[in-house]
Amino acid sequence: MARGVVRRVTLLAASAFTATTLVGGAAMGITVSLARSDGGNPMAEPAPVVDEEAVLALGLADRAESAVPEVVPDVVVAAAPVAWVDPPPDVPLTGEFAERPPLPRDLSPGDRGKDVAELQTTLTELRFDPGTVDGAYGLSTEEAVWAFQKLNGLEPTGVVDSRLWLLLWEAEPAQPRIDAGNSHVEIYLDEQVLLVYERDELVLVTHVSTGSGESYCVRGDCGVAITPPGAFRFTWHWPGWRRSRLGMLYAPMYFNGGIAVHGSTFVPTWPDSHGCVRIPMHIAEYFPDITEIGQPVYVLDGETEVEPLPVQA
């Protein structure tokens, strides 16, 4: 190329090489001029040009062609639409958003947040009782998680990890194991849970603690702490606290002699009672309202065959 011949080129604003060439070249005496790409319109924006011979002199010719393209008409490129990673706000979870989003963290007692509120809502839909849906992981929520874990053959840790999160999402309300054809209660000794059915519709699943299976002696009253399997009926109810020979019972519903379903301030994840069926206090508050005297109670141990009781008129 003959010296003095200037190729007018439009500099790319995003090219770090071109910007450096202009600044550095000007400092070294390289010709930098402004030329118009609009045919001389005085109102048009001037386009910067460089002396390509000077660029060659700097030994940068092998990069100049790729970094400084020929002048082309301005082209407006429309921005690509933003893709949603999560479902758009206020859009129901249907179609492609029907899958439950992954759990960003494990949930355990003491946690707070929208994910805890979603956990509580899911448990409620499955007829477990986590207490108020308030986004706070307290004891009632932990006891509901225990009940779900035990009913599904899992260790009752109270921790909701990604696996349990998906199990909750896919779960359906538990079906009765006794074909009773009427409202009744089922108590599973192996799983340590109690279920209340209104006809065949599940009303409640709760964590319980039944007889420990150990020998005991209290004030001369000795025996073995067992909750016998079989078919029974609720016989009577005591409102509020009642002092029994073996301790304090809250709102007991008796179904087998001195054995009752009752509220307790201590309901561990293992069998621990003298034979009664302990339930959490927040559930004991309304348990007598969802059951009634004469209602069948089926205690199942997974081995003993238990037949449905006849339906009462």
- Report yes or no: 240 and 250 within 8 Å, Cβ to Cβ: yes
Confidence at residue 220, expressed as pLDDT on a 0 to 100 scale: 83
Q: Residue 158 CA to chain centroid, in angstroms?
A: 13
Is residue 130 assigned to a domain?
yes
Domain boundary among 147, 170, 193: 170
Mean pLDDT of 93-105: 65
Does the pLDDT value for residue 278 go beyond 50? yes
Q: Do 294 and 248 have their domain in common? A: yes
What's the chain's Rg over C-alpha atoms?
Answer: 38
Percent of the chain with pLDDT over 70: 68
| Whether residue 189 is found in the same domain as residue 293 | yes
**What CATH number is attached to the domain comprising 211?**
2.40.440.10
Q: Is residue 240 part of a domain?
A: yes
**pLDDT band at residue 276, thresholds of 50, 70 and 90?**
very high
d(CA 117, CA 128): 14
- Quick: pLDDT tens for 115-163: 999 999 999 999 999 999 999 999 999 999 999 999 999 999 999 999 9
271 vs 246: CA distance, rounded Å: 16
Whether 39 has a pLDDT exceeding 90, the answer reads: no
Whether 296 and 199 share a structural domain: yes
Residue 234 confidence (pLDDT) above 50: yes
The residue out of 103, 136, 170 marking a domain boundary is 170
Residue finishing a domain among 112, 141, 170: 170
pLDDT of residue 246: 87
Phi, psi angle pair for 154, to nearest 5°: -105, 160
How many angstroms separate the Cα of 69 from the Cα of each of 56, 63, 65, 265? 16, 11, 7, 79
Please check whether residue 241 lies inside any domain of the structure. Answer: yes
> Residue range 66-89: average pLDDT?
38
**197 is a domain residue:** yes
Q: Which of 140-144, 171-175, 204-208, 243-247 has the lowest mean pLDDT?
A: 243-247
Domain that holds residue 110: 95-170
Which range among 20-24, 206-210, 230-234, 236-240 shows the weakest confidence by mean pLDDT?
Answer: 20-24
Decide if pLDDT at 65 tops 90: no
Q: Are residues 192 and 100 in the same domain?
A: no
Can you tell me the distance from the alpha carbon of 170 to that of 152, in angstroms, rounded to the nearest whole number?
12
Going by pLDDT thresholds of 50, 70 and 90, the confidence category of residue 245 is confident
Q: Is 295 found in the same domain as 194?
A: yes
Task: Give me 209's structure tokens.
Answer: 């603690």
| Domain count across the chain | 2
Give me the mean pLDDT over the 234-263 stretch. Answer: 96
Residue 185: which residues within 8 A CB-CB, separation 6 or more? Answer: 194, 195, 196, 197, 234, 261, 291, 295, 296, 297, 298
Q: Would you give the DSSP letter of residue 102? A: P
Which H or E element spans position 252? strand 247-256
Mean pLDDT confidence for 240-263? 96
Domain CATH for 152: 1.10.101.10
pLDDT (0 to 100) of residue 126:
98
Give the pLDDT band (50/70/90) at residue 101: confident
pLDDT at 266: 97
Is the pLDDT assigned to residue 29 strictly greater than 90?
no
- Do 267 and 233 reside in the same domain of the chain? yes
One domain, residues 190 and 294: yes
